[in-house]
């Protein structure tokens, strides 16, 4: 059993004005059903899901409309009942502003559920793999922001021994308050979800880390823990320091252990989940409901009535802004996520997805346009602020010079893009932009290298094939030639021999047929022989002078 009497401190970090009060004044309310929902096929890390409905199909709330492809993938479900009106490319919330495949549903307003099959307390009797598959079938991904399929994190593998579940209720980023409201209102559900997670991971201990700027949530969760009666679940209040809600940072605060570079928390026996994920798991097991809605914070000076809403996945953002009193005159930029790690959206005609925790409409004074960057003066403030204990200026240097190998030597991929370095930079260098640029370049280079390897293989195979074909052709030709030449020689001799043989045969046959032979060659008298001799002598005599001539 681990003890949490003593808390640790991670390197760096920042005290930021939390700006959470704006959105926590109003109670959590459910957003109405929008007329149209756009559901991207990829709202998670991994392979996009594959549609299993066609245009024109009637779908029910909670019906699976896209099935997972491959292992790291989860399905997508209809978040209300209605008709599928389009399956195609639509803009999705992504920093690129590009389109991605989506399923569009026109709501019928009935909001009729498909038949639900809750597992309930029977989950304890299930095989752990079946339990994980139930979580997968519910389309549950990490709701903290990255959207990694939760069922995979519930399977640490045979080589890792996990002994601690961490529920990350830190919610350290300014403005965002969706986890705060969730813990206030759904603490009991969350604990049921925690119990399922503990069972799935076979861990005995769970710690729920909450930043001290959320007293109501702490109280609600503590009360729920007491009611739940499991003494192995502990609520630990941690000091507010950005980014204590980073998985690695929270684990460091609670356990003093560091997750290894390029490694996973499971490598040191810890698995970390978001409170929203725990609630979604509870809904999937006890009510049979897939992940079709989430809580999202609408805040910033650009929103008239900042609040938290329970929203169906796929609801258009502008619809939610209208629900919150619309934009104010001050509105300048719309961000998805918080001011530190979020990204700007070009439009509000985008669907809310599983990983949208916050829509932040900032005014000019809240997020002023950054002044033109000045040269790095090597002050080292970024290194002091970095919670991952990296050297941001070295990373900046190498990213800028496009020396990505060197940037990786300085552990570029351990950067969590929290933005602390850029926040403190006196030269206003957009450091995180450089790291994001470098990371995507490295990935692109890897993809290109893979593609080049395939091309090299195919080219070598082709050369080999051409060589082989040529040899085969040459061999064939040689054979043919030999065959022809052989034929010629053989046939010439054969013909001659055959002709002679045929002549002999004919003569023999004739002899046999006639039964006669010349009669003047046998039984000669001596006089006749004398005559022949004389004739021969004459013949030779006659021949000789001719030859002499």
Partner 1 sequence: MITAILAVGLLAGLFGLLLGYSAIRFHVESDPVVDQIDAILPQTQCGQCGFAGCRPYAEAIASGAAEINQCPPGGEAGIRALADLLGRDFIPLNEEEHGEHKGKVVAIIDEQVCIGCTLCIQACPVDAILGAAKHMHTVIEEECTGCELCVEPCPVDCIDMVPVKTDIEEWKWPSPDERLSINNQQASA
List contacts with partner 1 (CB under 8 A).
Answer: 42, 92, 94-96, 98, 100, 372-373, 400, 402, 430, 433-434, 436-437, 439-441, 443-444, 447-448, 451-456, 458-462, 465
Q: Which is nearer to partner 1, 402 or 543 (CB)?
A: 402
**If you ran DSSP here, which 8-state letter would residue 225 be given?**
H
CB 96 → partner 1: shortest distance, Å? 4
Q: Please tell me what DSSP assigns to residue 123.
A: G
What Å distances lie between residue 51 and 57, 75, 290, 357, 372, CA to CA?
12, 9, 16, 25, 46
Cβ of residue 81: shortest distance to partner 1, in angstroms? 29
Which tokens belong to 510? Answer: 């004739």
Report the C-alpha gap between 33 and 457 in whole angstroms: 53
Closest distance between partner 1 and the C-beta of residue 94, in Å? 6
Of 462 and 508, CB closest to partner 1? 462
Instruction: Name which of 452 and 499 has its Cβ closer to partner 1.
Output: 452
- From the list 20, 18, 74, 21, the residue with the least C-alpha distance to 49 is 74
User: Which of 405/482 has CB closer to partner 1?
Assistant: 405
In whole angstroms, the minimum distance from the beta carbon of 138 to partner 1 comes to: 25
Omega before 297 within 30 of 0, i.e. cis: no
On the CB side of 278, CA atoms within 13 Å amount to 30
| Beta carbon of residue 428, minimum distance to partner 1 (angstroms, whole number) | 11
CA distance 335 to 312: 19
DSSP bridge partners of 102: 40, 88
Q: Give the number of other CB atoms < 10 A from CB of residue 96.
A: 11
Cβ-based nearer residue to partner 1, 10 or 396: 396
| HSE-CB for 221 with a 13 A CA cutoff | 32
Looking at the Cβ atoms of 402 and 495, the one nearer to partner 1 is 402
Cβ 76 to partner 1 shortest distance, Å: 16
State the minimum distance, in angstroms, from the CB of residue 374 to partner 1.
11
Which CB, 71 or 443, lies closer to partner 1?
443
Count of alpha carbons within 13 Å of 9, Cβ hemisphere only?
9
Q: How far apart are the first and last CA of the chain?
A: 136
Our CB check for partner 1 shows the closer of 377 and 455 to be 455
Tell the smallest beta-carbon distance from residue 404 to partner 1 (Å): 10
CA dihedral 90, 92, 98, 100 (to 10 degrees): -50
To 5 degrees, how large is the angle CA 347–CA 351–CA 353?
Answer: 125
Identify which of residues 456 and 538 has a Cβ nearer to partner 1 in the complex. Answer: 456
Residue 423: CB atoms within 10 A of its CB come to 17
Q: Minimum distance between the CB of residue 440 and partner 1, rounded to whole angstroms?
A: 4
Contact 352, 314 (CB under 8 A): yes
């Amino acid at each position: 059993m681990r003890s949490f009497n003593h808390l640790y401190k991670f390197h760096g970090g920042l005290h930021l004005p939390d700006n959470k009060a704006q959105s926590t004044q109003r109670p959590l309310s459910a957003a109405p059903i929008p007329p149209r929902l756009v559901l991207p096929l990829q709202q998670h890390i991994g392979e996009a899901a594959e549609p299993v409905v066609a245009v024109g199909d009637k779908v029910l709330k909670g019906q699976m409309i896209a099935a997972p492809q491959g292992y790291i993938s989860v399905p997508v479900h209809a978040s209300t009942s209605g008709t599928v009106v389009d399956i195609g490319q639509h803009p999705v919330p992504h920093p690129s502003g590009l389109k991605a495949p989506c399923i569009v549903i026109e709501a019928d307003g009935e909001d009729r559920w498909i038949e639900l099959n809750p597992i309930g307390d029977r989950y304890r009797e299930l095989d752990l793999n079946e339990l994980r598959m139930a979580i997968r079938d519910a389309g549950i991904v990490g709701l903290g922001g990255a959207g990694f399929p939760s069922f995979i994190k519930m399977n640490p593998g045979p080589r890792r021994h996990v002994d601690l579940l961490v529920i990350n209720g830190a919610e350290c980023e300014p403005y965002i308050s969706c986890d705060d409201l969730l813990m206030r209102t759904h603490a009991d559900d969350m604990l049921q979800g925690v119990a399922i997670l503990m069972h799935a991971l076979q861990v005995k201990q769970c710690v729920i880390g909450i930043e001290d700027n959320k007293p109501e949530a702490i109280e609600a969760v503590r009360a729920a823990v007491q009611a739940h009666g499991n003494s192995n679940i502990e609520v630990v209040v941690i000091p507010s320091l950005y980014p204590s809600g980073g998985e690695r940072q929270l684990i460091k605060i609670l356990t003093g252990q560091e997750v290894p570079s390029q490694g996973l928390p499971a490598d040191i026996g810890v698995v970390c989940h978001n409170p929203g994920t725990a609630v979604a798991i509870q809904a999937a097991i006890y009510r049979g409901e897939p992940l079709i809605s989430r809580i999202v914070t609408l805040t910033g000076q650009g929103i008239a009535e900042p609040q938290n809403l329970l929203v169906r996945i796929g609801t258009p953002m502008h619809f939610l802004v209208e629900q919150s009193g619309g934009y104010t005159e001050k509105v300048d930029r719309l961000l998805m996520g918080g001011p530190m790690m979020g990204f700007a959206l070009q439009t509000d005609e985008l669907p809310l997805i599983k990983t949208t925790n916050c829509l932040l409409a900032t005014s000019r004074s809240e997020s002023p346009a950054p002044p033109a960057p000045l040269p790095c003066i090597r002050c080292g403030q970024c290194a002091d602020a970095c919670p991952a204990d990296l050297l941001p200026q070295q990373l900046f240097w190498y990213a800028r010079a496009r020396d990505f190998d060197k940037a990786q030597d300085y552990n570029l991929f351990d950067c969590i893009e929290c933005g602390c370095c850029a926040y403190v930079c006196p030269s206003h260098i957009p450091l995180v932009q450089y790291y994001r640029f470098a990371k995507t370049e490295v990935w692109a280079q890897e993809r290109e290298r893979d593609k080049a390897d395939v091309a090299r293989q195919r080219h070598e195979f082709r050369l080999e094939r051409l060589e082989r074909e040529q040899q085969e052709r040459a061999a064939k030709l040689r054979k043919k030639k030999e065959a022809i030449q052989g034929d010629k020689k053989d046939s010439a001799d054969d013909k001659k021999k055959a002709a002679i043989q045929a002549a002999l045969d004919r003569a023999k046959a004739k002899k046999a047929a006639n039964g006669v032979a010349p009669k003047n060659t046998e039984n000669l008298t001596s006089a006749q022989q004398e005559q022949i001799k004389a004739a021969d002598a004459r013949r030779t005599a006659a021949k000789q002078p001719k030859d002499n001539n």
